[in-house]
Structure 1
Amino acid sequence: MTATLTQIYDARVAAGDIHADAAQRAVLPMLERVRAGLEAPVKKSGLFGLFTKPPEPVRGLYLWGGVGRGKSMLMDLFCDAVAAPKRRVHFHAFMQEVQAKIETARRARVEDAIAPVAKEIAAEIRLLCFDEMQITDIADAMIVGRLFELLFAAGVTVVTTSNRVPEELYKNGLNRQLFVPFIGMLRARLDVHEIASETDYRQHRLSGAQVYFTPLGAQARADMDALWDELTGHDEANRLVLHVKGREVVVEHFHNGVGRTGFDALCGAMLGPADYLALAGAVRVLMIDDIPQLSAARFNEAKRFVTLIDALYEAKVRLICSAAAEPEVLYRAGEGTFEFERTASRLREMQSADWAAQA
């Protein structure tokens, strides 16, 4: 007999993999309902099964609450257990993919460029699991209503997490009145539930922890690995690929809002402010390995690093990194050293307990 989500959760608690949490456990029957609906046999309609309409999607679930409440962990547990065609993806990365496909359809002069994109998605899956639904970009805001209308009509079920209640999505955004019907659609198609756990597990793991490791070497690598394992629960990670204006921003390792990649992948590549803003919007914690000693010969990398840190700082992304030297001496000679002083100051501030609490 297949184990229920509650049984799977309790087994992980007993094994010491996770801590028991009443607020998390209360969500499991809701997810089990969605799972049961997706795994039930699909009834065919029409004459001898011909001219069948897509099945009605199972009513989904919108889980929201503060950072570190275990939303992503519950999503993983649910998605792994569901025996149905599915996809688990970070919402920001998904919308970047959708925008790129819509642009391709427009270049092909397709009249309704969103329709073939929705059709392609619905042909492959019955369940979309989104991590961290958040909408800050006007392009996303103008797309989601039509896109999700088509996905629901095609029988796709949606389960998503978010840090905010649906009514707070795209708050104060440009032309928000055009976006508001999407909120009604979410309410009509998904049960909305707040995870009100009093424990912020992510913050607990980072509370008082060292987050800047220098010098580079075996010890710094071991310390970074240990924090990565703590933050991801030793689970397998995936690559995060963000598509920004025809470019790819790649984070080699990504899990539950935590990304990890090397300095060269972010600052050695031809990336700019838009790329770093997209990255800052896609991760809650970013681990950067092997920040080198910078010099005038690496001015371009230093300039990109300044832009990257500005984006992470403004977005309140928690930064963990290993570096060749302390922030104040990472870049001491070359054009832009004055500007780098602010970056060094921000790197220092981002290590503090006060800033961690804000993040």
Structure 2
Amino acid sequence: MQTVEQLYNQRVEQGRLKADPAQQSALPSLERIRAAVAEPAKRGFFRKAPEPPKGLYLWGGVGRGKSMLMDLFVDTLNVPARRVHFHAFMQEIHAEMHRLRSDGVEDPIKPVAKAVSDAVRVLAFDEMQITDITDAMIVGRLFEQLFDAGCVVVTTSNRVPDDLYKDGLNRQLFLPFIDLLKDRMEVRELASDRDHRQDRLAGSQVYFTPANAEARSQIDVLWNELTHGQEEPLVLHVKGREVELPRFHNAAARASFFDLCGRALGPADYLKLAECVRILIVEDIPRLSRQNFNEAKRFVTLIDALYEARVKLIASAAAQPEMLYVEGTGSFEFERTASRLREMQGVEWGMADS
């Protein structure tokens, strides 16, 4: 089996990666975990199971290669492992807890944690962030049980552990979880000067018109560059409702205009989306007019939310921004949106400021 360093160097030689000293400095931490879990368990009635290795909490800015390193690490494992976006994992946990409560189980965290630890030895989470009080109130007990069962956790995050759930409601109840992370995991910053996702998008077209097969093909290329062929749905919880985006990976999401503006979504939904993604691909934006006035209003609200959060936007549309909405109520107000769409096409827009 390859070591993490060997696989990294191989991909550099193949031209799939660019060597980065900050990334290379994190490889020994990942290799420590890989080597430890690769050791065969000593069997025997009186033998105590070996202590699992400390996990890894890898944090740093957007585009530094955290998720790539985690994927690389998972590719070297020879034990049951699961790589999943943290938000998606927590939604699964909540759904299973709800099912068990419906079946009369008073404390569902224990059986839920046991099911997870029975299935995998290593949990690899992408983008650990906690903004929801329902997550904040259960992660401490959940992770304590996972750690005690021998699960090894590797996670990426844009935040240092002490900033998780910052300013959240009843945060004092959450603080023991931060202590647990720091006790059971090595905390390491990936402090690269380079934004590799910005590098991949540098010089790339980000606004495509018309929205035809050629535009979709070019967007497919960008999407594969950003996700390396891995994706899952993203479910946003907004004021008791669920808003699902069909395609998501590593803080990048892809959806159609109809997905985002053809449904009865509002400012809170778009603000939540802008909080959870750093790159958004919106496809098949149509011409706007009095015939689709409600969709046009939602689109304006969406662009405002993305603009204020400096989310990188990639889009395909029926026309250039200035020609998307040329007649009907709201066309004058749309001039600001068109201007923002132009500004968001700039090379320096978005991720460099994240």
Measured against the shorter chain, the TM-score band is: 0.7 to 0.9
Instruction: Tell me, yes or no, if structure 1 residue 96 matches structure 2 residue 91.
Output: yes
Asked if structure 1 preserves the Cα contact closer than 8 Å seen for 2:41 and 2:49, the reply is no
Contact 1:135–1:141 (8 Å) recurs in 2: yes
Shift of 1:40: 1.8
| In structure 2, distance between residues paired with 1:145 and 1:187 | 12
Mapping for residues 96-175 of structure 1, pairs under 5 Å: 96-175=91-170
71, 82, 107: which one aligns with 1:87: 82
CA contact (8 A) 1:55 1:154 kept: no
1:332 positional shift: 4.1
2:324 alignment partner in structure 1: 330
Amino acid at match of 2:235: L
Gaps of 5+ in 1: none
CA distance in 2: counterparts of 1:310 and 1:43, whole angstroms: 58
Question: TM-score, with normalisation over the residues of structure 2?
Answer: 0.88
Pair 1:197-2:196 in alignment: no
Residues 300 and 115 of structure 1, relative CA distance in 2, 3 Å threshold: farther
Map of 2:229 onto structure 1: 236
How far apart are 1:92 and its partner, in Å? 1.9
Quickly say closer, same or farther: Cα 1:19–1:297, change in 2 above 3 A: same
Deviation at 1:19, TM superposition (A): 0.7
Aligned length: 351
Runs of 4+ with deviation above 6 angstroms:
none
* SS at structure 1 position matched to 2:307: helix
Give the C-alpha shift of residue 248 in structure 1.
5.0
The answer on 1:65 being equivalent to 2:64 is no
Decide which moves more: 94-103 or 169-178: 94-103
Structural RMSD (CA): 2.7
How far residue 63 of structure 1 moved from its aligned partner, in angstroms, is 0.8
Q: How does 1:202-217 map to 2 (within 5 A)?
A: 202-217=197-212
Q: CA deviation at 1:310?
A: 3.6
The TM-score with structure 1 as length reference comes to 0.87
- Which of 271, 280, 285 is matched with 2:274 structurally? 280
Q: Match for residue 18 of structure 2?
A: 19
Per-residue CA deviation, residues 74-133 of structure 1 (Å, 9 max, x unaligned), is 011111221111111111222232233333344444322333322222222111111111
Classify the secondary structure of the residue corresponding to 1:115: helix
Match of 1:39 in 2: 38
Structure 2 CA distance for aligned equivalents of residues 299 and 115 of structure 1: 50
Over 3 Å counting, the alpha-carbon distance change for 1:340 and 1:96 in structure 2 is farther
8 Å contact from structure 1 (residues 92, 281) kept in 2: no
Deviation string, structure 1 residues 46-75 (Cα, Å, up to 9, x no partner): 56x8xxx88643310111111111111101
Question: Percent identity at matched positions?
Answer: 60
Measure how far apart 1:138 and its partner are: 2.2
Conservation of the 8 A alpha-carbon contact between 2:209 and 2:316: yes
* AA matched with 1:165: V
CA distance in 2, matches of 1:37, 1:28: 14
Can you give the 5+ residue segments of structure 2 that lack an aligned partner in the other structure? none
CA distance in 2, matches of 1:270, 1:44: 58
| Paired amino acid for 1:190 | M
How many Å separate the matches in 1 of 2:156 and 2:138?
Answer: 19
Q: Note the alpha carbon deviations across 1:216-275, whole angstroms, 9 max, x for none.
A: 23443343234334434xx222222416346350323x3333222322233334545554
SS in 1 for 2:2: coil
Higher mean C-alpha displacement, 259-268 vs 326-335: 326-335
Any conservation in 2 of the 1:90–1:282 contact (CA below 8 Å)?
Answer: no
Amino acid at match of 1:312: L
Query: Do the aligned partners of 1:276 and 1:307 also contact (CA within 8 Å) in 2?
Result: yes
